[in-house]
A and B are shown apart, each in its own frame.
Chain A
């Protein structure tokens, strides 16, 4: 039985896995202690749970639990990592490099650092969404101290060459931050192998609760940060504030499940995504955005030419999808990520991000394919542009009358 709207927006947020909720409940009930309370069993119980969760988060990415700092989410982790490192190492230089396709949490943090006197290079990506390593090398300067590149893009799902970028950064002693909010449980992350210094995580993109995330801070070689939140000195001074044990327990279980199940789960999800992709690219004049091989199996981002974006979204209300990144979808600006991939405004507006996950079924994918076929042909029937294209008119040669 299908339940509407069909949720195909796993990159915006995932449902919490029922096993995660179950593990959280005791910490919303009898185990309510403040993990910082050192003088009684309520505190110790909470602290023990926090440390078990820290080990589970560390295990997913092959890190040491001591390298995990709890935050309120990936946005805070990105802020702490980039501001914290840029400010700590500013005597060495004030140049930062990032990509034009990063999440707002990274881009707006960099803009703030520009206001504080730092210089930021926002690199273009290739048409496939990937960073060109030669362009990256060319952008490096003697005063570059921090590089921030996301592992998996939230809109198009492409996986950046983190291993190669890490090698280049380490060789030059540059701090390398990676936003992995969209990567956990989707691609393998081995921090013993990757030369990454700081990595941001979020629970609610990996079947955990909202309001909790973490920052990986490498110990060997040691990475230093200026704390952004001051107070009781929690998290070894890197992030003050009472730890929310129930949320932390939830993140721990969510990451443990990801570690245990990602290998089989991603095969299933990949098959569903491919089915969706084949079903939708059957429609004429559709374009898949972003490289398809260096990509997580969960994501499909497609532009449907000759349909108007808003009308399309209205027409397919039975499926919950995103026409841009969740955080920017309140504005009707064309997605800056798709623009960076070279899509024009019209195509960017008429693109849809389908992101599927743990609870997506084949029936839902079949329904979605059928729905899109029906709605797009209906919308195109109403489109004079589509009519012209069908008549063989090359739209690029048309002289449009000015208004």
Chain B
């Protein structure tokens, strides 16, 4: 079987085999509906309680602060729309490099009379302090800034940003989907009112995530019905996925330090190679996630290069997965002031738990070959 080298862990991660084993009984004999009062239902309820405690413990939150959702997108929608629904229309501010589910949820609020602000970033992708102070002075009720960016991997100083936002009376949320398992994510230490996590970015199953939210934030549900998740998210719980999520969180935390040190080595080797090939590595001057490299070669189209790399047996991304259908250059890069021509060349390589040094070396070799071919063609055309 042809199995390309997987270098797209920020899009989704392979399911950990231990997590899969933990899920299987819940796809088999332990199939009950957690709302049922008989034995099948009680077993399901107990499994969900355990998973909730696991997620809460890893994130330093109380189990009652964990709301399970169908994933990160829903959790981000739930915070922005759900909190807004309980407030009089005011201002919402999100960073210019948010995932579309944060940006679009916030922009939707404009229709309900909210003012929408985008907080600018500097050339490294870090929140621009002056712009942030200015946007805060307009007293937004809701602020959302992602902990780690899905494309560049840049890490924001959420603790201090959150403290400033709270001092101005804002409810602050952070999308920690890409950060979990790679850097410490502690709800209390971050000082945010809410944060979003997702299972499939931490070797758990696709289809489950959570919003962790403190009691200072009143939320209206997005999905009404049977009143599951303390009325904040109705619908029969996705039992097997929730069980998998609980374990994936525990594994992510227990392996975090070891994983991160390995990923850093892989990334350094990769970026050494990239440097030799003349790549521009985005956000290279800022603290970034261990496994993420976002880069471009001047004059080389990213889509084309990624297509060639795929045929050579390497799976990576030319933009963030969710907007891959969209040929526009990365909004994150444009917000950083990267020229659109260079941004069109962007390629994202995200290594993971199973990636080896040998794979990284082979990738750099393949990249070098493809670049030579492409540059040769360009030279010929000129």
Q: Which residues of A contact B (CB under 8 A)?
A: 5, 7, 9, 12-16, 18, 21, 24, 28-30, 32-34, 36-43, 72-76, 78-79, 103-105, 108-109, 111-112, 202, 204, 209-212, 228-234, 240-247, 313, 317, 320-323, 326-330
A212 and B207 within 8 A (CB): yes
A13 and B15 within 8 A (CB): no
8 A-B pairs with the lowest CB-CB distances in the bound complex, closest first = A232-B322, A211-B238, A231-B101, A327-B226, A244-B207, A40-B315, A105-B225, A75-B235
Q: Is B254 an interface residue (CB 8 A)?
A: no
- Nearest-neighbour CB distance to chain A for B327, whole angstroms, equals 10
CB neighbours (8 Å) of B239 from chain A are 210-211
Contact of A230 among B104, B240, B310, B326 (CB under 8 A): B104
- Nearest-neighbour CB distance to chain B for A8, whole angstroms, equals 10
A105 and B100 within 8 A (CB): no
Q: Which residues of B contact A (CB under 8 A)?
A: 1-4, 6, 8, 11-15, 20, 23-24, 27-29, 31-33, 35-41, 70-74, 76-77, 99-101, 104-105, 108, 200, 205-208, 222-228, 234-241, 303, 306-307, 310, 314-318, 321-326
CB neighbours (8 Å) of B99 from chain A are 231-232
- 15 residue pairs bridging A and B, Cβ less than 8 Å apart: A5-B39, A9-B36, A13-B32, A21-B24, A37-B315, A39-B303, A39-B316, A40-B306, A42-B315, A210-B241, A211-B70, A229-B74, A233-B326, A327-B227, A330-B37
- Nearest-neighbour CB distance to chain B for A117, whole angstroms, equals 12
A13 and B31 within 8 A (CB): yes
Identity of the chain B residue whose Cβ is nearest the Cβ of A16 in the assembled complex = B27
B321 and A36 within 8 A (CB): yes
Known contacts A12-B33, A41-B4, A233-B326: A244-B27 contact under CB 8 Å: no
A233 and B70 within 8 A (CB): no
A34 to B205, CA, bound (A): 11
A41 to B315, CA, bound (A): 7
CB neighbours (8 Å) of B105 from chain A are 230-231
A37 and B321 within 8 A (CB): yes
A242 and B12 within 8 A (CB): yes
- Nearest-neighbour CB distance to chain A for B347, whole angstroms, equals 9
A15 to B27, CA, bound (A): 8
Identity of the chain A residue whose Cβ is nearest the Cβ of B201 in the assembled complex = A242
A72 and B238 within 8 A (CB): yes
CB neighbours (8 Å) of A109 from chain B are 224-225
CB neighbours (8 Å) of B316 from chain A are 39-40
A247 to B207, CA, bound (A): 8
B100 and A244 within 8 A (CB): no
CB neighbours (8 Å) of A209 from chain B are 27, 240
- Nearest-neighbour CB distance to chain B for A253, whole angstroms, equals 13
CB neighbours (8 Å) of B104 from chain A are 230-231, 240
A240 and B240 within 8 A (CB): no
- Nearest-neighbour CB distance to chain B for A17, whole angstroms, equals 10
- Nearest-neighbour CB distance to chain A for B2, whole angstroms, equals 7
A229 and B38 within 8 A (CB): no
A5 to B20, CA, bound (A): 27
CB neighbours (8 Å) of A240 from chain B are 73, 77, 100-101, 104, 322
Q: What 8 new A-B contacts, CB under 8 Å, besides A12-B41, A43-B324, A240-B104?
A: A28-B20, A36-B324, A39-B310, A79-B225, A104-B227, A209-B240, A231-B322, A320-B39
Q: Count chain A CB atoms within 10 A of each CB in B4, B33, B76, B237 and give the residue with the most.
A: B33
- Nearest-neighbour CB distance to chain B for A326, whole angstroms, equals 5
- Interface residues of B, dominant DSSP: loop
A109 to B28, CA, bound (A): 32
CB neighbours (8 Å) of B36 from chain A are 9, 12-13, 320, 322, 326, 329
Identity of the chain B residue whose Cβ is nearest the Cβ of A213 in the assembled complex = B235
CB neighbours (8 Å) of A234 from chain B are 322
A105 and B235 within 8 A (CB): yes
CB neighbours (8 Å) of A328 from chain B are 226
CB neighbours (8 Å) of A231 from chain B are 73, 76-77, 99-101, 104-105, 322
CB neighbours (8 Å) of A29 from chain B are 15, 20
A318 to B321, CA, bound (A): 49
Contact of A43 among B1, B11, B108, B314 (CB under 8 A): B11
Contact of A39 among B73, B208, B315, B326 (CB under 8 A): B315
Known contacts A41-B4, A242-B71, A326-B33: A210-B11 contact under CB 8 Å: no
Identity of the chain A residue whose Cβ is nearest the Cβ of B203 in the assembled complex = A32
A42 to B316, CA, bound (A): 10
CB neighbours (8 Å) of A104 from chain B are 224-227, 234
CB neighbours (8 Å) of B322 from chain A are 36, 231-234, 240, 242
- Nearest-neighbour CB distance to chain A for B171, whole angstroms, equals 19
CB neighbours (8 Å) of A36 from chain B are 11, 321-322, 324-325
A105 and B40 within 8 A (CB): no
Q: Count chain B CB atoms within 10 A of each CB in A74, A111, A229, A322 and give the residue with the most.
A: A229
Contact of B27 among A21, A233, A329 (CB under 8 A): A21
CB neighbours (8 Å) of B234 from chain A are 75, 104-105, 108, 327
CB neighbours (8 Å) of B2 from chain A are 41
Q: Count chain B CB atoms within 10 A of each CB in A7, A204, A247, A323 and give the residue with the most.
A: A247
CB neighbours (8 Å) of B100 from chain A are 230-233, 240
A21 to B29, CA, bound (A): 12
CB neighbours (8 Å) of B200 from chain A are 34, 242, 244
A233 to B23, CA, bound (A): 29
- Nearest-neighbour CB distance to chain B for A89, whole angstroms, equals 16
- Nearest-neighbour CB distance to chain B for A239, whole angstroms, equals 9
A343 to B93, CA, bound (A): 53
Contact of B101 among A9, A230, A322 (CB under 8 A): A230
A358 to B222, CA, bound (A): 34
Contact of A321 among B1, B3, B38 (CB under 8 A): B38
Known contacts A9-B40, A232-B101, A320-B39: A14-B208 contact under CB 8 Å: no
A229 and B73 within 8 A (CB): yes
A12 to B29, CA, bound (A): 15
CB neighbours (8 Å) of B317 from chain A are 37, 39-40
A234 to B207, CA, bound (A): 14
A79 to B326, CA, bound (A): 28
Contact of B15 among A28, A73, A243 (CB under 8 A): A28
Q: Count chain A CB atoms within 10 A of each CB in B8, B38, B238, B241 and give the residue with the most.
A: B38
CB neighbours (8 Å) of B72 from chain A are 241-242
CB neighbours (8 Å) of B307 from chain A are 39
Contact of B235 among A13, A32, A72, A228 (CB under 8 A): A72
A152 to B200, CA, bound (A): 35
CB neighbours (8 Å) of B37 from chain A are 313, 322-323, 329-330
